[in-house]
Structure 1
Amino acid sequence: MGQLNKQLIKKFNELYIQTRYKYLVQFKDGKYITLTHNARNKRPKLNDSMLQTHLKGDITYGIFAGGHFNKFITFDVDCEEHPTARWATLKLVNTLVQDFEINRSDIHVSYSGSKGYHVDIFFDKPVLVTELKSFYRSVMVNVGSIPNGQIEFRATSTQGVKLPLGIHQKTGNRCWFVDNETLDPIESYDYLLEVEPISSETITDNDFGLTDEQVTEFERVAASTDITVNAVDLSQALHNAARIIETGRLTQSGTRHKTTFTLACFGNTQGWESDETVAVIMDVLLATPGEYFSEGSTPEYWQKEAERLVKYVFDKDISITDSDKQLVVYKSEILAVLSCGTFRQKQLAYAMLITSKRYGNIFYLTIGTAMKMIGTSSRTTVTTAVKKLVEVGFIEYQRKAEVDKARSLELGQVRYKPNKYQLAFDKPAEGEKSVKVSAEDDIIDVALMLCDVSEIRKHVKRREFDNRWKTRVS
């Protein structure tokens, strides 16, 4: 077993482990805690000895994505009843094979140890978590709804997943891999040794060309900006970026690099052009008193660093997002959304509502970003929707069509600063009905959680209801 253990641990490292600084530990009651190694505590990093303990069944460990990248995707099938979980898992596997042309031999299913299953696909190169999520959502559209259960996306930097082949600490069951056609357990550790990753191009056209060492270095640099530790830090980074832009200069000394990287991510999140983002960064830095910088730091160096970091962030399409963090939506808010005209206009209203909750009540929005929010290629659709939302009192402008004089002079053509908006309707009343929502919940999901169908129909025309809502309420 000693030699086999070494081979299994090597395979765990190859296929699953993206970060060792943060991991899960499962206890006898089946619950998990998250442990994080840092310079202030004495907790060990996830290491090979822990993986060996996991295989022995003494302690069960789980892992997280490294931050922006991961080298596998897990579909976590979680249902109230085991027969439903079996049905959902087989439906998922068949969808991956038939609709997405994933070879059945590249789909690896393991028993969760309780009522569910984990369906894993491994990749030869790191893939952006945002791209993995996009693939997951496409798959789930084809799978459809799961009665009395759900299939969740794993892993992210905030939501981990249990490693296979260990013991479920509450049930005592070994989490074997299973046959992906029958779900019969394969009671052999050798299965893992035969698993090989597939090309990342199977689900994405992007080839980032990053080695594992480069990904590790990027994650280390990104972590130093306090944007990948957890959802709270991500949200704080966004608010910090917005505050810095509003203030117009650095608000703390010794934060030039951190601010440059954060603003680069913020600009990409907001849909700005790369040169606009560099210009915003330089405006902030040039307006900051000299004592905020290290001795010998020059504007020429700031410009070079701003261009380098912005190019990197935009090339890799890295955004600051706390989309894993659940947000509270109130009934009056969703009723205000439903009062906003066409379905597309309702979609944009809901997107703006969520944006305001993530980034602050006054928020930036470009036409390009709004187009992505509601899945349209029509600028007219967005401009019409924004006009409608202003007319009905859902939003109001805080900044509209303001010329960026410095950029316009530099480029020889008129350039505008991104518009800023603020929600304009009344705040929810104390004690009002509310629900927690995640990025996967769309406007229809949230409306049905908060409102009766009869209430929804008061705000939805018959044709829209039949085309968009009917299948979700029946």
Structure 2
Amino acid sequence: MSKQPTENSRKLIYAKINELYIQTRSKYLVQFPDSYVTFNKKHSARVVVLNDSMLKTHIDGDLTYGIFNGGYFNKFITFDVDFNDKGLARWATLKLIDVLVREFNIKRQDIHVSVSGNKGYHVDMFFDKPIPVKEIRAFYDNVIATVGKLQDGQIEFRPSWTQGVKLPLGVHQKTGNRCWFCDNETLTPIKSFDYLLDVEPMDSTIITEADFGLTDKQASEFEAVAAETNIMANVIDVSAALQKARRILESGRLTESNSRHSTTLTLACFYNSQGFEQEEAVEAIMDILNATPPQYFSKGSTPDHWLKEAKRLVAYAYEKDMKLGNADKQVTIYKSEILAVLQCGTFKQKQMLYAMLVTSKRYGPTFYLKTKTAMAMIGTTSRETVQNAIKTLVQKGYVEYRRKGEVDIAKSLELGQFRHKPNKYRLLLPEVADDEPSVEVSNEQSVVDVALKLCDVKEIKRYVKRREYENKWAL
């Protein structure tokens, strides 16, 4: 049995919990023997904000408290190792720690493990300043991808605004176990409340300055330049391979030396957002890596290893349906644009032009669109429907080809059969006026939804045939 902390030690422990963990006092968890309850002062004025008296109750073991993040920033991360089998939980925790130390250069002294109170563990890292949640999540995604597939359990990200995490050193209200910190090499519990007093936050730049993915601005630039540089296929062209690889590096597309791992995951997310098959994504990533000068890779890194990792990380990104930045970004649609869509032809052609309009706003005025992605956008299983719709839009002057039917020479020679680069397009719609009505739209809204927000029924009927209106547009 461990001794309860002295009164002076208690004050220091409360202060340390406040320093390391507490990011909001208005929202917190309380664990009861049969459930967790969330208290949120914004939902009820009767809720008391989290305070040191509650921390005393937590340390005494009478109630167990948990916390959420501040909404936009985290000053720590918890890897919540959750397994039904205690042995598997121990194995996964030790593997996670090994990955953090060996692959991400985290000092072992900055990794703090506590038992969850049941069969799992919490692996905590504390930062000397708050870090945007998106950056912490990018770090988490890369770490978990490196850990690899886990059976019969998972390692979850905590805390977020919607998913809290129990504070350490309390008592699990269901099992009665004290949530002690552990030795991070043996996972032997350290039955002392004073462990926390020696914990110091780590340098946050280890996370923020490492290349764990692109920032929002970089992602947007990357997506726009991807089409411009033909990054997905023709970067392997013999005459321009090295030049384009350097251009991508200098522009931040592969960021910096020794960034192969994180760049591979970033590209996997990008190609997933673009509708590539997994095999196509792996090929495109390998094209880029093979075209990169060797000095940008760590010593001993080989193409065989790149290929193995590319397959693994692509599979991970697709399994988790991870997509890069702009795939779900809201865009602004103007009334003149919708009127152009209404006039363009059949309903499928309207759907196609609207889909291309949204794509151009997300990925730049010159964009590429795979037939399979276009099929999903307009709800058809017919490649011919898509191809005919685009052909008609081109003939009517709504769209122009910026690249069409171009053979990928390098890939064709490699495979022994013709392979074409994806077509590139540019819309030819009139410029919008400054004072035009507009709406913000997301992936959930169809061309019908958007048109009905921007136009009255009379306007819609002016451009839509009666049968189409009755079948597709009538409320």
Contact 1:323 1:438 (8 Å CA) reproduced: no
Contact 1:363 1:422 (8 Å CA) reproduced: yes
Match among 315, 319, 322 for residue 323 of structure 2:
319
CA 1:302–1:440 in structure 2 vs 1: closer, same or farther (change >3 Å)? same
State how far apart, in whole Å, the 2-side matches of 1:25 and 1:401 are.
60
Aligned letter for 2:337? E
State how far apart, in whole Å, the 1-side matches of 2:226 and 2:330 are.
21
Shift of 1:375: 1.0
Match among 28, 31, 37 for residue 6 of structure 1:
31
2:267 equivalent in structure 1: 263
CA 1:362–1:25 in structure 2 vs 1: closer, same or farther (change >3 Å)? farther
The answer to whether the aligner puts 1:432 opposite 2:457 as a matched pair is no
State how far apart, in whole Å, the 1-side matches of 2:37 and 2:390 are.
49
- Once the two structures are overlaid, the 10-residue window that deviates more, 456-465 or 420-429, is 420-429
Contact 2:30 2:37 (8 Å CA) reproduced: no
What's the C-alpha RMSD, in Å, of the aligned pairs?
A: 4.1
Give matches, 1:26-425, under 5 Å.
26=42, 34-38=71-75, 225-226=212-213, 235=220, 238-239=223-224, 242=227, 245-246=230-231, 248-249=244-245, 250-251=248-249, 252-254=255-257, 255-320=259-324, 322=326, 324-425=328-429
State how far apart, in whole Å, the 1-side matches of 2:290 and 2:380 are.
38
The alignment partner of 1:329 has SS state of: strand
CA 1:243–1:301 in structure 2 vs 1: closer, same or farther (change >3 Å)? farther
Shift of 1:281: 1.5
State how far apart, in whole Å, the 2-side matches of 1:39 and 1:6 are.
21
CA 1:34–1:469 in structure 2 vs 1: closer, same or farther (change >3 Å)? same
2:473 equivalent in structure 1: 469
The answer to whether the aligner puts 1:444 opposite 2:448 as a matched pair is yes
The alignment partner of 1:265 has SS state of: helix
Aligned letter for 1:366? K
CA 1:39–1:377 in structure 2 vs 1: closer, same or farther (change >3 Å)? same
State how far apart, in whole Å, the 2-side matches of 1:240 and 1:39 are.
34
Percent sequence identity is 48
Aligned letter for 2:73? T
Shift of 1:28: 8.5
Contact 1:322 1:358 (8 Å CA) reproduced: yes
State how far apart, in whole Å, the 2-side matches of 1:426 and 1:358 are.
18
The alignment partner of 1:272 has SS state of: coil
Give 5+ residue unaligned stretches, structure 1: 14-23, 41-46, 49-62, 69-123, 127-156, 164-192, 194-219
State how far apart, in whole Å, the 2-side matches of 1:417 and 1:225 are.
29
Aligned letter for 2:342? L
CA 1:393–1:447 in structure 2 vs 1: closer, same or farther (change >3 Å)? same
CA 1:390–1:304 in structure 2 vs 1: closer, same or farther (change >3 Å)? same
State how far apart, in whole Å, the 1-side matches of 2:275 and 2:402 are.
18
Contact 2:30 2:36 (8 Å CA) reproduced: no
CA displacement, residues 417-439 of structure 1 (integer Å, 9 cap, x when unaligned) = 22111112222122222111222
The alignment partner of 1:37 has SS state of: strand
CA displacement, residues 229-248 of structure 1 (integer Å, 9 cap, x when unaligned) = 9x778656644755675474
CA 1:224–1:25 in structure 2 vs 1: closer, same or farther (change >3 Å)? farther
Shift of 1:410: 2.1
The alignment partner of 2:301 has SS state of: coil
Shift of 1:391: 1.4
State how far apart, in whole Å, the 1-side matches of 2:351 and 2:390 are.
11
CA displacement, residues 37-61 of structure 1 (integer Å, 9 cap, x when unaligned) = 1579xxxxxx99xxxxxxxxxxxxx
2:147 equivalent in structure 1: none
Shift of 1:397: 1.1
State how far apart, in whole Å, the 1-side matches of 2:345 and 2:413 are.
40
Shift of 1:379: 1.3
Shift of 1:377: 0.9
Contact 1:328 1:437 (8 Å CA) reproduced: yes
State how far apart, in whole Å, the 2-side matches of 1:25 and 1:398 are.
56
The alignment partner of 1:34 has SS state of: coil
Q: Please, what TM-score do these two structures have when normalized by structure 1?
A: 0.52
State how far apart, in whole Å, the 1-side matches of 2:417 and 2:41 are.
57
The alignment partner of 1:415 has SS state of: coil
Contact 1:397 1:422 (8 Å CA) reproduced: yes
Structure of greater Rg: 2
State how far apart, in whole Å, the 1-side matches of 2:137 and 2:381 are.
30
1:460 equivalent in structure 2: 464
Shift of 1:396: 1.2
1:74 equivalent in structure 2: none
Shift of 1:461: 0.8
State how far apart, in whole Å, the 2-side matches of 1:442 and 1:33 are.
34
State how far apart, in whole Å, the 1-side matches of 2:229 and 2:403 are.
17
The alignment partner of 2:391 has SS state of: helix
Aligned letter for 1:253? E
Contact 1:226 1:233 (8 Å CA) reproduced: no
Q: Please, what TM-score do these two structures have when normalized by structure 2?
A: 0.52
CA displacement, residues 431-454 of structure 1 (integer Å, 9 cap, x when unaligned) = 222111222221112112212222
State how far apart, in whole Å, the 2-side matches of 1:8 and 1:454 are.
62
2:9 equivalent in structure 1: none
